[in-house]
Amino acid sequence: MGGRHGRSAVDTAMALVHDIQQANCNGKVPSALFGDVNGAFDHVSRTQLLLILQSLGFPTPVLNWIDIFLSERYLGLAFDGW
């Protein structure tokens, strides 16, 4: 959903949680493959995202993982291999 007008990281997370819950209800084992998260959260307020996810009932281990993932991030630039 990256870059779509009116969509956010929270929408993506909620869609994923919904799909996992549906699979569990149907007796299936959910699996997922993720890629290209580089730059996906460059302009996300970590504090605001965590507050929203907490209010939506996300489990503490997920909140902790997101907090760590969005912490201590560094930017590196490369120009023609330099």
How confident is the model over 7-64, as pLDDT tens digits?
A: 787 888 888 889 989 998 999 888 776 655 566 666 778 899 899 989 999 899 989 9
Kind plus residue range of the DSSP H or E element containing 23: helix 9-25
Cβ neighbors of 52 (< 8 A, separation 6 or more) are 10
Output the pTM of the full model.
0.46
The token duo for 14 is 């909620």
CB atoms closer than 10 angstroms to residue 49 = 19
